[in-house]
Amino acid sequence: MLKRDDLAVKNLGVPQYDSPLDGFTNTKEHKIKYISDEDRFLFLSSEKKLNEYVEKLKNKKDDEEIIPSFEKAGPRQKIYFKPGETISAVVTCGGLCPGLNSVIRALVYMNYYRYNNRLMYGIRYGYEGFIDKYDHSIINLTPDVVENIHKLGGTILGSSRGPQNEDEIVDKLVKLKVNILYVIGGDGTLRGASKIVEAIERRNLKISVIGIPKTIDNDIAYIDKSFGSETAFSKACTAIESAHTEAKGAMNGIGIVKVMGRHSGFIAANATLATNDVNFVLVPEIKFELDGEKGFLAALKKRFQHSNHAVILVAEGAGQEYFENMEKKYDPSGNEKLNDIGLFLKDKIKEYLASEGISTSVKYIDPSYIIRSTPPTPNDSIFCLQLAQRAVHAGMSGKTDIVIGYLGGEYVHLPIKLAISERKKLEPESELWLSVLDSTGQPISFINE
């Protein structure tokens, strides 16, 4: 169970300035809906879960364990930093993701036009941009600079992987007189942000660090979705449609599509439901048997008995147990480099069907880099805007060490340590996975749960 400290949101101090937002939109007919720190969002996934919490709490002598409620995100009537005099910086880290430029643009516009803050630094190439030895230039971001960047994929700031010395990062923040740092990134980036917060606190500085969660895999804990994930599975649908066309164009044709998903199969699951063209889905959370009478290859052969084509969708992290004897390699962030499960399946399928006397044509499509670098879909673009707006509200009100999360239909302040405490995964018992099984009709005989 979550404890009270797990959900506590840090504040730099007591807010003392009136929000300038009243001057923009407050009229007799239209009042700004300010959010109080006492406004909480109670989140439990089901009535059953609530009853479990209540029963456990009945027998406790203290209130250490609590029913989880999260502080709501949004504008505060009193803010900590003085509008018009607050300097901020933004950095993008890790792999590319649809929507990065949309978030950057919204941060700039919100600061400039709503809080009158005219100085915002764009840090180049991830955390490297803070370190003098790399000699990366720093951009002064203004509305003119970012006006049209939301139409572009990637990030105008560039990115990089790997940790940098947090004390050197704080040195640069102090030198630039930055009050608020916006960090856009996934699990590794947020771990870095947590270390930056610790370095700031060791020096008793009043610098806010606000995270905006970025992961195509949508695997950050206690967050329903992160920006870019919807675009990812939407674009994956195009690859699936192509694989389906190729598969139907040949007798016993097979189309294999590999999508992102190192540890979580959300992209694969959602793309499957969106297209209805997929016959087999393989995800990291659920191991599968390859050989034998009840294995995947036998199930594929059986598929050909009533249909002469098949489409296979596989997440990149699926089936990595079949490479256990190979030497492990790691990227600069410490992530294990995955072996190509798509190529592995292609070779195994061709070998197996040949041994069974079945001719086939196998086409393999890996759209990963196309998906990563594409601009966001309209709905994802809206989501980017709303995350950024709430990030600026949080920073100006003096919040720190948090990410802006979207949970149960609400935007909330989520402590960074809670966000990185575990990885969200696709549950085999979930309605989402059951829907996938219903959609594909794939047998569960080769699933090794």
Q: What is the pLDDT of residues 85-111, one digit of tens each?
A: 999 999 999 999 999 999 999 999 999
Q: What is the pLDDT of residues 368-427, one digit of tens each?
A: 889 989 999 999 999 999 999 999 999 999 999 999 999 989 999 999 999 999 888 988
pLDDT at residue 82 in the model: 97
Q: What is the mean pLDDT of residues 130-141?
A: 96
3-class SS of residue 85: coil
CA distance 381 to 321: 37
Q: Give which of 316, 314, 287 is closest to 447, Cα–Cα.
A: 287
CATH 3.40.50.460 fits 229-372+429-448, yes or no: yes
pLDDT at residue 332 in the model: 72
State what percent of residues in the chain have pLDDT above 70: 90
Q: Mean pLDDT over all residues of the chain?
A: 90
CA distance 110 to 212: 15
Spell out a b/e string for 120-133, using b for 16 or more CB atoms within 10 Å of the CB, else e: bbbbbbbbbbbbee
3-class SS of residue 12: coil
Residue in the structure block whose two tokens are 């979580």: 264
CB 41 within 8 A of CB 430: no
For residue 446, pLDDT beyond 80: no
User: pTM for the full model?
Assistant: 0.90
Decide if 438 is catalytic: no
pLDDT at residue 222 in the model: 87
Confidence of residue 64 (pLDDT cuts 50, 70, 90): low
Could you give phi then psi for residue 210, rounded to 5 degrees? Answer: -120, 125
CA distance 138 to 129: 7
Confidence of residue 43 (pLDDT cuts 50, 70, 90): confident
Do the strands 180-185 and 88-92 form a parallel or antiparallel pair, or are they unpaired? parallel
Marked catalytic residue, from 5, 63, 217, 224: 217
Confidence of residue 306 (pLDDT cuts 50, 70, 90): confident
Question: Do the domains 4-226+376-408 and 229-372+429-448 sit in the same CATH topology, yes or no?
Answer: yes
Spell out a b/e string for 347-359, using b for 16 or more CB atoms within 10 Å of the CB, else e: ebbeebbeeeeee
**What are the structural domain ranges in the chain?**
4-226+376-408, 229-372+429-448
Quick one: CA torsion of 165, 6, 408, 433, rounded to 10 degrees?
A: 80
What token pair was written down for 240?
A: 């699936």
DSSP secondary-structure letter at 65?
Answer: B
Confidence of residue 55 (pLDDT cuts 50, 70, 90): low
pLDDT at residue 331 in the model: 73
Confidence of residue 221 (pLDDT cuts 50, 70, 90): confident
Q: What is the pLDDT of residues 166-186, one digit of tens each?
A: 999 999 999 999 999 999 999
In angstroms, the Cα distances linking 279 to 152, 318, 319, 362 are: 34, 16, 17, 15
Q: Which residue spans within 260-296 are E strands per DSSP? A: 280-282, 287-288
State what percent of residues in the chain have pLDDT above 90: 70
Q: Which residues contact 310 (CB under 8 A, 6 or more apart)?
A: 247, 253, 254, 255, 279, 280, 300, 303, 304
CB 317 within 8 A of CB 340: no
**Architecture of the domain spanning 4-226+376-408:** 3-Layer(aba) Sandwich (3.40)
